[in-house]
Structure 1
Amino acid sequence: MTEPALTVGIIANPASGRDVRRLTANAGVYSSTEKASVVQRLLGAFGATGIQHVLLAPDMTGIAAAVLKASQGRNARESHWPRLTFLDMPLRQTVEDTRLAARMMAEQGVALIAVLGGDGTHKAVAAEVGDIPLLTLSTGTNNAFPELRESTSAGLAGGLCASGRIPSGVGLRRNKRLLVREHARGICEWALVDVAVSSQPFIGARAICRAEDLAEVFVTFAEPHAIGLSALCGLWCPVSRQSPLGAWVRLNPNADDAVLVPGLLQGCAVSACGSMQPGVAYSPSLLNGTLALDGEREIEFSANDHPTVTLDPYGPISIDVEAVLAYAALHRLLAIGREHPQHPANLPC
């Protein structure tokens, strides 16, 4: 009886990196051509590490079409790309496309899913796939959760993990998340990086673009070198991804101490800050306003509501690319013998 092909999934969000922050904060833009190139580099790395089959989500912007065309070329043959299957699914050009693709990949038993997008894309995928590991690639605007890295290196790490050559304790990282609940209204949502409390009473344009609209920020982790709302904590009371704690900062225009909002370079006055303990429900300081999850306002609340934010240590699993490649170097996992098609002696002149 033949073993099933080792299969991974790739989801490239065609809309990531194209929101209003391109205009308000000069954020970068990832074109469909660039995303197709990232996918192609992933496929080369997956092929080199023994991945036999890749499921790819379709799109209407040309990413999948460019990859399909490249898969029929000489470079794909020489690099031994895995066999490609494009998911047969309807396209609505909304976040539901990402969610449906993630569910279909999970149902087909993929060993991991490579995600191209920002915090919102990764949250949408993670919500559908349970403990299937995510290979995170930053191609969005608000990129705190997916770290910026070269896709060939990421693909090698993902392929080594998926093929079982890396101990799970080395290669896999359990991430924190923030649970947002309002019991009376039956709301239970979550964020991977931050929950911001805004004084704006309505959702409107979802992205928060003005420092004066911020009252409070809760974070799972906060790195000083990051961008986005979590960087407020990162520049004031940093907390690492590995720490069991989270953090919060409270803002007040009359406070004496201030910190910059990176990207927009606006000053924010900090009136208080502290750590978040896992499992403890924290209430916003405002009686009414909106809650932004991973940079996008999603929940309105009033004085009659009682929303809470809780740090949960049981978020999605991701691949620790640096740890995997360090282990691979130590154990020579990427060394190849003369029989390997990529050995220099076997390459065409």
Structure 2
Amino acid sequence: MWDALYAAFAGTGWPLALLAYFLVGFAVGGATGGGRSRFMTALGWPLELTQRLAGTTGLPYLFLVPNLLVFGLFTFSPMFINVGFSVTEGQSILFEQRDWAGGENLTRLLSETNPDTGGENREDDKFLAAVADTFVFVIFQVPIMVLIALVTALVLNREIIGRGFWRSVFFYPVMLSPVVVGFLWTLILKRQGVLSLTLMQWGWIDEPIQWLTDPSWTMFWSVFVYTWAHLGFYMLILLAGLQAIPKDLYEAAQMDGTSDWRVLWRITLPLLMPTLLVVMVLSLIKAFQAFEELYAMQVRWTSLVAYIFETSGLRGQPTANGLGVAATASLLVAIGLILLSLIQIYLTSRQNR
């Protein structure tokens, strides 16, 4: 081992740098006590020095700085860049090669007349179709998700055999990659997939069905797969809310001979309502952002995020002003999601009051 360490650091300045680090630590740290205490003080002298300079109140903010930098780099910077794309036009991603457009991209997105050619604008039909499909998906998926998550949490909150195992089973799909979920269900739902072959063997259908592209089934299976993939996350939140309800309320209701249905409607649901409200808004926002699983399964309908993805030129041939139009569409979606978040904050604060 020592030969390997010697070979790794031979000819480098790391040993001297490490020695200088500890010497500075012993000098600056002012360690007292035994050898172990002195060594740990010398090892963490930058933190000790920072705490002395920043004080007790300033140190937490220093720990928040790296997170704020990463958050700003990967969240706020793309947001401002997206705003820049929405008010400029051209194919290039470099702003010096893009011309100022103002509100032209919004006109290209929503107007019935193409401002560039003066002819019929087809972009508004594509965008509005994506909006309509997404609303249909949200209207069906969110209530189903919340209802099943609530029922699952209520069941798994009871004293049942293997409760920990069943909680893990329901939460397991959340840990899978969305692309893995999409390909897994594609193997089941494709024309020669497991579901069609099984139903044909049972004599329920005469010929295989392409479940993901058939207009009668594509939305149903989109809702089913998306609910299956994300159910465990919302179930876990509701389970935490159920466990926060005081047990003495249930004991008092049991002593009074209250029925289980009355306990559910008079105790459980009212006290769970703040958590249930958070789950409803979070699932609503997540449903509007649905993309990965649907893209991997190649469903027939187009979600808002899929429309933005395709229009921007990230898949297929980029168009002259596709990047600006996609950026404008993403801003409209972002405004809608911000409004939903504000509604959640308002309703939560009102519920708490």
Interval of TM-score (by shorter of Structure 1 and Structure 2)? under 0.3
> Higher relative contact order at CA 8 Å, sep ≥6: structure 1 or structure 2?
2
Higher normalized helix content (fraction of residues): 2
Alignment TM-score, normalising by the size of structure 1: 0.26
Greater C-alpha Rg: 2
Compare the two structures and name the one with the higher strand fraction: 1
